[in-house]
Structure formats: structure tokens, C-alpha cells
Amino acid sequence: MDDDLQRSAIEDQIANFGQTPIQIFCKRHPRRGPPIPIAHPLSFAPASISLTSILSCMSNPPSAVLYVGLLDSNIVIVNQGLTLSVKMWLTTQLQFGGNFTFSGSQDPFFGVGSDILSPRKIGSPLAENVELGAQCFATMQTPSENFLISCGNWENSFQVVSLSDGRMVQSIRQHKDVVSCVAVTADGSILATGSYDTTVMVREVLRVRSPEKRVPRKDCIIAETPFHILCGHDDIITCLYVSVELDIVISGSKDGTCVFHTLRDGRYVRSLKHPSGSALSKLAASQHGRIVLYADGDLSLNLYSINGKHLAASESNGRLNCVELSGCGEFLVCAGDQGQVVVRSMNALEVVKRYNGVGKVITSLTVTPEECFLAGTKDGNLLVYSIENPQRKAIVLRNPRTRVMIPS
């Protein structure tokens, strides 16, 4: 380059290119909060889920947890002695108010909060030899209030219990024998009940809009008269599924059959016979039209399409007390006498992941929208399986009565 002035300018530009001041900020950067939890851990990182907390003494004296349900960020728990309690389900959205914040919190991402409804007795005396379990309970949401449906009563009725104060607001008796199981649609608009009289009754849930905070006793939550009475079984109805989207009512029975009816007009569609003829104990159906049948007789799981085609079969390797589906409908979550939570694919029932428990029989289970597991045990504990904060090496429950440490 012949021009000395231009040469000098370019050399200076090269020599000083990218230079910045030694210090930009006078304050230290705020400490970052924990990383955002994985949106769908079962699909992308099932190993990220672990047993993060244990809540003991869910009832006094301790008794098996028969039912665990999640409704509107509330955990609904029913124990063996028909003791109802409601606790808060804590999520990152509740903790952070839905906004991004910097935080040094060392708490788990998910957990169980304080009592919303303290433990109290519900229901009337049970029928003799009734098989009480999760199939006897269901939660239901209306514009005015949330409710628990319970059955198994000696007078052949099922009852509607308010989750705000534990009072019974309605009792309906239409079946000729003990009501053995109940099921509610995902939108809470339809209730189906199965009975020892081998029939299924389908009722409409009335959308009560009361100006008062609580629903008055005179108001009906559920229509007294069913709009369908479905037949087709020769023995006790043991499990139910009802869906508005699929226009289907599926009932399982001790006679070893699973019967399909349309929800809209109650028309019989088809029957499925268990391959070994064993009595059906549990059933689960996804929004994609896949149905899983489980029988205690041979401890087998069988997968069917909604059209009745047999897709897969698998051994459960132990008695299952709970069979639930994830919110996406792609995973089957099972638990039982072995004390493990087992996740299976709804494509071919292959095992995706096994999660160890505390060596106790798991009697009830629910899967949250965040794909966490809430499992109740035979000795009255509540186990929480969730994504653990990686910054935390140990979780200590702060309640002195339930002080438990779980190493990560």
C-alpha cells in the first residue's frame, strides 16, 4: 500500500479491533434459578423422573390409600376407612406465578402442599364383602364446585361429596344391587355407574350455577334418572370407561368380557373376550382408541384397538392394583404388589422404565398433567415421582411429623 496515511489508519483499526472496556457491570449477575423442567419427560427423558418425596401418616391410624386423584391443582386422597383429604399440588407454575424469575431455591420442582380439606369421614356403611378400590371413586368438576363420587354403599346407592367441605350433597339409588364402580368423562359431563346387578347406568351431570359459593343441598348435581341402562354382562361390573370424544362406553366384568356401547344412543357395538377367560379387573382406554385389559387371574395385560383387534399381550409379573394412562395417551403406568411403578408403551406394551418404590405395596396411582406420579401405599404413605432439581443433593420434608430424606 503506497499511501502511508491510509496504511496507518488500517493498521490502527486492526490493532484495536474488538477491544472492550475491562469492566462493563458494577453489580454481580443475579443467581440463576433451576433449569426449566422437561415438558414431556416420559417421551424424551424417562430417566429424569425419580422418587422425590414421601408423605407419611396420610390418615390416623395409618390405612391403605384407596384412591388418589388430581383435580384443579388439588390432590384428592381417600383412605381405607373412607377418610377424605385434599391437599395442594405444587408445580413450577404455582411457585413462580407463571413468570420467569431468578431464584436460589433448592426445592424440588413439584411437591405436595398444605391441606385444603383436613381429613374427615365420608359416605355411609359399606356393603358386605364389597371390593373397595380406586374403581369405586371418581372426581368431577362443575362450574360451581368440585365433587367426589363414591360407591360401594350397603343401600345400593352412590354418593356425591363436596371437595370444599366434605359434606354429602346428593345420594342416588337406582341400581338393584351394590354399585361396584364409577367413571366420569374427561369433560365432567357424563357419569357412568356399574353394579353387581350386571348393568351400567349412564347419567348426565347437571351444570349447576349457583350464586352462592357452595351448592345448596336442594340442587341436583347429577340427574336422578339415567338416560341409558346398558346390559350385556352375566356377572359383576368391575371396571368402566366413558368418553364423549369417542362416543363410547366400555364396561368390564367378572364374566371375562368387555362390552362396547355407543354413548349417544346406547347401541351395542361389540364384545371382547379375555384370551384366557379370566375375570377382568382393570381397563384403561386412550383418546387414540386403544384399550388395555388386565386380569388378576393370569396377571396379563392385553392391548386392543377400538375396533376389537388384538394388538399385543404382556405379563405383568405381579398383581397390579392400578392401571393408568398418561395425559398424552401414549404410556400406560402400572403399579401393584411389587411396589414398583412400571411405564409401558401403548404401542406394544413394552416396558419403557421401572421406578423403584419403598418396598411397600402400591394401592393407588394417578398421573399428573406434568407426567409426575402420585402413588398411595398400603401403609398410608403418598409417594411423589417427579423431575428432581439437579442442584439439590437431598430432599428433606420440612414437616417434623413426616421427616424423610431421599438421596438423589
In sequence order, which ranges of 155-269 are alpha helices (DSSP H)? none
| CA dist., res. 391 & res. 408, Å (int) | 10
Residue recorded with cell 380406586: 134
Query: Any bridge partners for residue 50, and if so which?
Result: 386
Query: What is the Cα–Cα distance from 316 to 338, expressed in whole angstroms?
Result: 10
Q: Which of the 8 DSSP states describes residue 347? A: T
- What element of type H or E holds 241? strand 237-243
Separation CA 135–CA 281 (nearest Å): 10
The model's pTM:
0.81
Looking at the DSSP bridge assignments, the partners of residue 134 are none
* 284's grid cell: 384403561
Domain ranges of the chain: 46-407
3-state secondary structure of 93: helix
Alpha carbon 229 to its chain's center: 28
State the Cα–Cα distance between residues 81 and 62, nearest whole angstrom: 10
DSSP state of 187: T
Lookup: cell for 374: 402420585
DSSP β-bridge partners for residue 65: 79
* Spatial separation of the C-alpha atoms in residues 45 and 43, rounded to whole Å: 6
* HSE-CB of 175 using CA atoms within 13 angstroms: 33
* Other beta carbons within 10 Å of 27: 5
Spatial CB neighbours of 2, under 8 Å, sequence gap ≥ 6: none
CATH no. for 46-407? 2.130.10.10
* Per-residue model confidence as pLDDT tens for the chain (408 residues): 788 888 888 887 887 776 666 677 888 888 887 666 678 899 988 998 999 999 986 667 788 999 999 998 899 999 988 999 999 998 876 554 444 333 334 455 788 888 899 989 987 788 888 888 999 999 998 888 899 999 999 999 999 999 999 999 999 999 999 999 999 999 999 999 999 999 999 999 986 544 444 545 456 889 999 999 999 999 999 999 999 999 999 999 999 999 999 999 999 999 999 999 999 999 999 999 999 999 999 999 999 999 999 999 999 989 999 999 999 999 999 999 999 999 999 999 999 999 998 989 999 999 999 999 999 999 999 999 998 765 553 443 344 444 444 544
3-class secondary-structure state, position 123: coil
